[in-house]
Each structure stands twice: as C-alpha cells, then as structure tokens.
Structure 1
Amino acid sequence: MNEIVRQRIGATLLAAILLGIGVMAALDEIVFHQLLAWHHFVEIDNSALALASDGVLHTLELVMLVVGGALMLRLHETGQHAGGFRGAGFLLGMGGFQLFDGIVDHKILGLHQVRYVDNLLIYDLGWNAAGLLLLAIGYWLLRRARRGAASSQR
C-alpha cells in the first residue's frame, strides 16, 4: 500500500473515530444524564457542579463532532476519503468511548456509575459489553476495509 493511500486511510479513520466518540458521548449525555437522570459526568454533593460537569462533557462532545465533521467534509470535498474505513472508524470511536467510560470513568476514577442501584454488576456488564460489541464490529469492518484496499492496490 502506497503512502498516499495510507494517509487517506489514516485521515478518514481519524475523522470517523472523532465522530464516533462525539456521537456516543452525545447519546450517553442525552439518554443517561438527561432523559433517565441516572448520573452526572462527575457525581458530587453540589448539584450545580455536577450539572456543570455535564456541560464540560457536552462541550468536549461538540468539539469532537465539529472537528470530526470538518475533517470528514474536507476529505469528501477533495475526494480523499477512504470509503470503506468510515464505518469502521465510527464504530471504533463509539465502542472506544463506551469502554473507556465504563472502565476508566466508572471504575478507575469513580466519577460516576451507570446507575446508582444496589447491584451494579448487571449495569457494568451491559455497559462494557455494548462497548466491546461496537469495538468488535468496528474491528471486523476495519479488517474488511484493509483487505479491500490491499486488493485494489495490486
């Protein structure tokens, strides 16, 4: 695979991963923070600060969506996107965010839990399983796209 093709693939994956992270963060915030009110980004006794932490998450999510969208739009405008890699990157970004949130934010840093109930295990397993499933599908799509790109270079 030549260097130009690698650059197109890398740029497409980066843009799609950023979009995937932004969309999953938005889904998390909308569904779990706002509609279900299960948690804030940072659970603390001060409700104003807890709500402000959701605002920080929302800001970061919007940055990911704007930057990823701008990069993808530029790739499309210049004909530089690597079509088979968009879906793979998007799902890798979504799954990566979900798993990072489930392991790092929930367990290592203890910023919040999925839901505040007596038995967290089912929620933790479901949350992390969803992230793993998205990552697995994204990885499968990535492998398929790489095979397609390699065969088209011959």
Structure 2
Amino acid sequence: MNPEHAPDRRRSILSTVLIGVGMMAAVDEIVFHQILAWHHFVDRSTPAIALLSDGLLHSAELILLVLGFFLLSGLRKTGALVRRPAWSGFFLGMGGFQLFDGIVNHKVLGLHEIRYVENIWIYDLLWNGAAVLLLLVGAVLLRQGRHASS
C-alpha cells in the first residue's frame, strides 16, 4: 500500500480537533454572545472593544473551521481518513475549547463571565460540566478507535 494513502489516525484527529474547536467557538459566539447577549469575549472594557473582540473570535472560528475541513477533505480524498479517531478529535476539540474558555477566559483571565448573575457557580458548573462530558465522549471514542480501522 502506498504510505501516502495509508490510514492516518493522527491527521484524522488533528483535522477534526480544529473543526471541534471552531464549532464550539461558533456555538458560544452565536448563542451566548449574539442571541442571548449574556457576554462578549472581552467584557471588561468598552462596548467597542467588546464588539471587536467578538468579531476577532468569529474570524478565528471561521479560520479553524475552513482549515479543519480542508484537512479533512484531503484525508477523505486519499482514503487516509480514520473515522472513529476523527470523531474523537471533534469531541475533544469541542470539549477542550469549552473547558479552556470556562477556566482560563472566565476565571484566570477574567475576560468575561458566562452570565452576570448572583449565583454564577451554577452556570460555571454547567459550562465546565458540559466540557468534561464532551471530553469524556472524545476520550472513549479515541480509546475505541485505537483498534478500529474505520
């Protein structure tokens, strides 16, 4: 078999991690920033900075989605895509973004809160709990995919 067309687990995971990060960033930005208007990427500044930061987040998510789908398309075209690890990468990317956002952006850097309410811990628990659940799904799929060929 031509090594160029051999199943490529690592690239299958990488391409879908990018898609997962981009997808979760899009869900966050569209649902929580725009529809619900609970926060902006950077709330601790002026409204103009908040809007600019949301635009930069949107640009980054689009770049990740396009890059991830470009890589995924190449894998499919050459027959190198390994499906179960690819799905694991998607869930790991989504959960990784969510947990990074919940811990680093919300708590460490203090860029914004999920929602500005008195009992924020409930929102933090749900936000980070959803991230852990997505990461667990990705980890289970990754473990199962170690021995699967598709």
TM tier, shorter chain? over 0.9
In structure 1, the partner of 2:58 is 58
Q: Indicate the SS of the match to 1:124.
A: helix
Q: TM-score, normalised by structure 1?
A: 0.91
Moved over 4 A (4+): 3-7
In structure 2, the partner of 1:72 is 72
In structure 1, the partner of 2:107 is 107
Q: In the TM superposition, what is the alpha-carbon distance from 1:80 to its structure 2 partner?
A: 1.0
In structure 2, the partner of 1:98 is 98
Query: For residue 30 of structure 2, what is the amino acid of its counterpart?
Result: I
Distance in 2 separating the partners of 1:83 and 1:45: 43
In structure 1, the partner of 2:89 is 89
Query: For residue 35 of structure 1, what is the amino acid of its counterpart?
Result: I
Query: For residue 106 of structure 1, what is the amino acid of its counterpart?
Result: H
Deviations 1:56-77 (CA, angstroms, capped at 9, x unpaired): 1001101110100100001111
Deviations 1:28-62 (CA, angstroms, capped at 9, x unpaired): 00000000000000003410111000001001101
Matched, 1:25 2:22: no
Q: In the TM superposition, what is the alpha-carbon distance from 1:5 to its structure 2 partner?
A: 9.3
Distance in 2 separating the partners of 1:5 and 1:77: 9
List gaps (5 residues or longer) in structure 1.
Answer: none
In structure 2, the partner of 1:12 is 12
Query: For residue 89 of structure 2, what is the amino acid of its counterpart?
Result: G
Q: In the TM superposition, what is the alpha-carbon distance from 1:6 to its structure 2 partner?
A: 9.0
Aligned residues between the structures: 148
Deviations 1:114-146 (CA, angstroms, capped at 9, x unpaired): 000011100000000000000001100100011
Distance in 2 separating the partners of 1:133 and 1:120: 20
In structure 2, the partner of 1:124 is 124
* Residues 4/147 of structure 1: CA separation in 2 closer, same or farther (3 Å cut): farther
Q: In the TM superposition, what is the alpha-carbon distance from 1:7 to its structure 2 partner?
A: 7.3
Query: For residue 38 of structure 1, what is the amino acid of its counterpart?
Result: W
Matched, 1:135 2:98: no
Query: For residue 19 of structure 1, what is the amino acid of its counterpart?
Result: I
Q: Indicate the SS of the match to 1:148.
A: coil
Q: TM-score, normalised by structure 2?
A: 0.93
Distance in 2 separating the partners of 1:5 and 1:91: 25
